[in-house]
Amino acid sequence: MSTSERLIESTRELLWERGYVGTSPKAILERSGAGQGSMYHHFRGKQDLALAAIRRTAEELRTTAEHVLSGPGTPYERIEAYLLRERDVLRGCPVGRLTMDPDVTASDELRAPVDETIARIRQLIAGIVEEGKREGQFTESLDGEEIGAAVLATLQGGYVLARASGSPADFDAGVRGLLSLLAPPTPTPTPTPTPTKEN
């Protein structure tokens, strides 16, 4: 792995663990094993390196979401697969983590990949909901954009609950709760008429 790659990957890890404010150039150099001055040889500074790291993390998250949400199954099953996919719940979301950093939210440049990723995933889910409505799997009253927001809010809120309690159980409970609300209604079986005895 080249020095610039080691710097980007180390910055991605540190941003996830410590956030932007807690990720110092010294910590990046120590984690990457790069020599003094390497950061400024390959990047203009911490913000430039952080931007490269954030873009890569956001692209990776987007690609994963697109892969799962465009996979096989009914619209409900694809949303279910996305909500239930394997995650390191107690570490939180590497993109959602950045929204808690005042330096990231104050910078249009650093915030842009985060905004784009959240918007893209919300758009994908909204499209799946509308597809499900056309196929009669979801009720007409559901709004795709609102469900997209609800899915993302459940995930991000689930990370917070899990980290607060130190257990993934709260994350899982939130996901199961949302899925139970979205589940297509089970058709009521038509009762079989009781045969009458002829006199």
The radius of gyration of the chain's CA atoms, rounded to the nearest angstrom, is 22
pLDDT digits (tens, 9 = 90+) for 71-124: 999 999 999 999 999 999 999 999 999 998 999 999 999 999 999 999 999 999
Q: What is the reported pLDDT for 196?
A: 62
Closest CA to 137 of 183, 102, 73, 193: 183
Q: What is the reported pLDDT for 189?
A: 65
pTM of the model: 0.86
- Per-residue burial over 159-196, b if 16 or more Cβ lie within 10 Å, else e, is bbbbbeeeebebbbebbeebbeebeeeeeeeeeeeeee
Q: What is the reported pLDDT for 39?
A: 87
Q: What is the mean pLDDT of the chain?
A: 92
Boundaries of every domain in the chain: 54-182
CA 144 to chain centre: 17
Token output for 182: 């979205």
CATH class name, domain 54-182: mainly alpha
Is the pLDDT at 147 greater than 80? The verdict is yes
